[in-house]
Structure 1
Amino acid sequence: MHDPTETPSLADPVTGDPVRPVSGLPRVLVVDDEASLRHLLRVILERLGYPLVEAGDGEEALALLDAHPDVRIVLSDVRMPRLSGLDLLRRLRERGVFVVMMSAYASTDLAVEALREGAYDFISKPFRADEIRACLQRIVEREQLAEENRKLRARVREQEEIDGFIGRSAAAREVMAVIERVASYPSTVLLTGESGTGKELLAHALHRRSPRADRPLVAVNCAAIPENLLESELFGHERGAFTGANRAHAGLFEQADGGTLLLDEIGDMPLVLQAKLLRVLEDGRVRRIGASRDLPVDVRVVAATARDLAEDAERGRFRRDLYFRLNVVHVRIPPLRERVDDIPLLTEVLIERAANRLGRDVRGASPEAMRCLVEFPWPGNVRQLENALERAVLMASGPRVELNDLPAELRHHGDADASPSTDGLLHAVPADTSDLSIKRHGAELERALIREALVRTGGNRSQAARLLDISYKALVYKVRNYGLEES
């Protein structure tokens, strides 16, 4: 019979040579209520080079795990006071550690139960030192392989991501390839695509890959600033140029000198300012409001819009000459519905980011949840997907996102009675058909239309304003007035 207190001999089973300790091995937690067994395992592990801590039962083991978060392997007896080995195993499911169960009362049923509950291996007592060594070595090799796979996935992801813009589809790769090719040149770039497709991410990618990367990247939303302020914001003003101009102000072109200026929602810029912008792009000089001389500026302009500028130019809503000047390099970013193949990759990455930011141990999505994500049309594109997945990570009660964790509008997409258009607009019609006053019920209908436009555009107000055929400023006022800020 094996004496558990006997000093074990460790040798390679093939060569017979003594086993040398290996540095950089993971910490092991030994859990056993018998001091002699803990002593035996301590001798074995120390000779192999494993750092370790010891616990006399499951409750003490949990406390030690909190104090030593670097523990990667747990060697635990099955029968122990207070908290048994199997109960400890169940408590460790979410900890991400390898658990090896040990017992002197081993049976096939007990081993199967332990493995079913998540144990990595089951070792019968009395055991040989080489059994422990071989089991731990398999775990270490598995961890090393997993780390190599993580590094390989990271290298692959580098080819599938450019400054947060992610995709492996042909359409996404084409966009990233163009960005890489033109980033180092000063040419103007026009980024077009629906709201939420990643235009701003690509603008940052252009800047960071250019010789201007150490200079400012200045961004402005042309649709969010009133016309009377936008000119001063872009081109600056001198003191006393207009009422309230108590001091001189350097415009965004001056602030971006040597760097990059992102003109977001360029399609919403007033026509009168488009002429002045064209002169700056052609001459490389800017004149502040109220100034008598021009200032030279060296700025690379990146323009972005969700509008079809070619059509707007044909209809007279956008200057043709400015359109041609901006359209030196045109990059169209496809909507998410045109690159459905990217949704699984985006889902994996966005869940990981949200989980890390929120401190949740959630990775990946179930097949049912993924099927729902792939089938949804995503009118708000990647931004809408990101928001939906952040909500799902918060709601998840397990290690992955399940179908029920997704927002209701995703899960019920396609249901005959789930259309926001049907619900929103029909509820705006008064139930009492004797009261058909447009004055009294017009506001209800207007609120329903605004809410529907916001839903269809994933919350993008510029795009919603165009659907509603009202100005951006008017939409902002109505959204606030109707209490739709959260829509």
Structure 2
Amino acid sequence: MGDKVKKILVVDDESCMRHMLRLVLQRAEYVVSEAANGQEALIRLEKEMFDVVLCDVCMPTLDGPGFLKELRARNVSPTVIMMSAYGNLDTAVECLKEGAFDYISKPFKPDEVVLTLRKAEERLRLREENGLLRQELNRTAQSGQMVYACSGMEQAMTLVGRAAQVNSPVLVTGETGTGKELVARALHQQGKRRGKPFIAINCGGMNAGVIDSELFGHIRGAFTGANRGHDGLFVAAEGGTLFLDEIGELPMTLQPRLLRALQEQEVRPVGAVNPRPTDVRIVAATARNLQEEINAGRFRSDLFFRLAVIEIHLPPLRERKGDIALLAEHFLSRLALREGRSCPSLTPEAVESLERYAWPGNVRELANFMEKTAIFCRDDKICMEHLPWEIRRHPRDRGQDMSLKKAVSRIEPEYIRRALSVTGGNRTKAAQLLDISLRNLHYKIREYDLE
């Protein structure tokens, strides 16, 4: 729940109880709202968000248990603490089963209420941190770590280490698949905000209205279908990092809104009158040349200068020849660990083929190709013949050798190896897969020395 002021909704049919709780909670620096019954509380919850609801068990109009059932039916899940008189403890326990977070018994001392709220905050904070940690671990397992040896990446990562210690906006540039989001996560993890949220959004592929609401939030009734308010990603990333991927595709109509959020450190939700302050570190990324976009009138120069206080460029994989074998082995090792098998090694010929390839999809394409290769090759060594067709045909496309006989002699051994691998060495089944006779298969195995 962070360090922001907590909003509490007090639900009780007795006005004197609501007044007493308001005084106690305001002294404890809470923002307090009131509702006289469960029905009124539901209406308040539709209009705004509350961190905790303090709700009486017995009320004439929609009591505590009924209120909890309505919350569950509407898929609304604030933290609810029940207030119960001594004679209603059984009902309070039933409320816990219905989803209440805790309960306190009436009559209670003011300090008891504050202490219960503090405990709830601590438990919720731990739950949120655990959830964020699980997400981060899952993302790390899926996306892997930065693997490099070349000077270009060394320079980029040195800059990441320095930029992580400040709060200035960072613009990460590079072709698709070079690892821009990994760099953004490294900036977050190495900086002072690492214990706070890392929120990512892709600015491409969505219309301006959707991105506007996603980034800055909206109030209830701001547009058709806005039945509830939405905080937006700036608020969700409070204290942490907001990663704006494909920033070059952000609609022109939203660029002034983002510029103001960066300059003033505040956002105004769609439909709202007053802005709200934010404390967010911005990291943006693009595969486009933003200078060309500015010249073409598709990107604001003032927003570019605000985003590119620190600019980190990632070289394409074709300029990182020395990293290709390292990355390939890294991906194979990760796949082997996932599949519970021994890690195959690359032959020198296979490495040479990988280094000759242009890699238009960069590191992401290499990861894809290594997974394909590991699926079909169950041997301890990966030869050139095991690599995807795109890599193997690349050097031949440039040559003048048009010999069909040589082409067949290159392709046939590869297909035979794969068929034998898929069938576990069963030659009868392999022959069926290859659509040749078993006798012909035996002949070709001897011809190509595949015994």
> TM > 0.5 between the two?
yes
- The answer to which structure has the higher helix fraction is 2
The answer as to 2:204 corresponding to 1:223 is yes
Counterparts in 2 of 1:117-128, with a 5 A limit?
none
Instruction: For residues 427-467 of structure 1, give each alpha carbon's deviation from its aligned partner in whole angstroms, at most 9, with x where no partner exists.
Output: xxxxxxxxxxxxxxxxxxxxxxxxxxxxxxxxxxxxxxxxx
Which residue number corresponds to residue 249 of structure 1? 230
Match of 1:374 among 348, 355, 358: 355
The answer as to 2:261 corresponding to 1:280 is yes
Counterparts in 2 of 1:95-244, with a 5 A limit?
164-244=145-225
Amino acid of the residue matched to residue 244 of structure 1? G
1:248 is paired with a residue whose SS is: coil
Instruction: For residues 381-410 of structure 1, give each alpha carbon's deviation from its aligned partner in whole angstroms, at most 9, with x where no partner exists.
Output: 000001100111111131122212211111
**Shift >3 Å, 4+ stretches:** 414-418
1:163, distance to aligned residue in structure 2 (A)? 6.8
Which residue number corresponds to residue 391 of structure 2? 410
Distance of 2:163 and 2:246 partners within structure 1:
21
Query: Does the CA contact (< 8 Å) of 1:352 and 1:364 recur in 2?
Result: no
Computing the radius of gyration from Cα coordinates, the structure with the larger value is: 1
Amino acid of the residue matched to residue 308 of structure 1? N
Instruction: For residues 201-241 of structure 1, give each alpha carbon's deviation from its aligned partner in whole angstroms, at most 9, with x where no partner exists.
Output: 00000000111101000000000322221100000000000
Q: Identity of counterpart residues, as a percentage?
A: 47
Distance of 2:398 and 2:226 partners within structure 1:
56
Query: Does the CA contact (< 8 Å) of 2:356 and 2:395 recur in 1?
Result: no
Amino acid of the residue matched to residue 209 of structure 1? Q
Distance of 1:359 and 1:405 partners within structure 2:
20
The answer as to 2:315 corresponding to 1:334 is yes
Which residue number corresponds to residue 385 of structure 1? 366
Where structure 1 has 5 or more consecutive residues not aligned to the other structure, the ranges are: 1-161, 419-487
Distance of 2:238 and 2:155 partners within structure 1:
30
1:317 is paired with a residue whose SS is: coil
1:415, distance to aligned residue in structure 2 (A)? 3.2
RMSD of aligned C-alpha atoms? 1.6
Q: Could you tell me the TM-score, scaled by structure 1's length? A: 0.52
2:397 is paired with a residue whose SS is: coil
Instruction: For residues 310-365 of structure 1, give each alpha carbon's deviation from its aligned partner in whole angstroms, at most 9, with x where no partner exists.
Output: 12112211000000000100000000011111111111111111111122322321
Distance of 2:359 and 2:387 partners within structure 1:
13
Aligned length: 257
Instruction: For residues 157-199 of structure 1, give each alpha carbon's deviation from its aligned partner in whole angstroms, at most 9, with x where no partner exists.
Output: xxxxx97121101101001100011101101000000000000
Distance of 2:147 and 2:306 partners within structure 1:
29
Query: Does the CA contact (< 8 Å) of 2:344 and 2:379 recur in 1?
Result: no
Query: Does the CA contact (< 8 Å) of 1:184 and 1:211 recur in 2?
Result: yes
1:368, distance to aligned residue in structure 2 (A)? 1.3
Query: Does the CA contact (< 8 Å) of 2:168 and 2:309 recur in 1?
Result: yes
Query: Does the CA contact (< 8 Å) of 2:208 and 2:253 recur in 1?
Result: no
Query: Does the CA contact (< 8 Å) of 1:360 and 1:394 recur in 2?
Result: no
Amino acid of the residue matched to residue 192 of structure 2? P
Query: Does the CA contact (< 8 Å) of 1:220 and 1:262 recur in 2?
Result: yes
Which residue number corresponds to residue 288 of structure 2? 307
Query: Does the CA contact (< 8 Å) of 1:347 and 1:364 recur in 2?
Result: no
Where structure 2 has 5 or more consecutive residues not aligned to the other structure, the ranges are: 1-142, 400-451
Query: Does the CA contact (< 8 Å) of 2:204 and 2:250 recur in 1?
Result: yes
Distance of 1:364 and 1:188 partners within structure 2:
41
Which residue number corresponds to residue 25 of structure 1? none
Q: Compared with structure 1, are the counterparts of its residues 340 and 225 closer, same or farther at alpha carbon in structure 2 (3 Å cutoff)? A: same
The answer as to 2:306 corresponding to 1:325 is yes
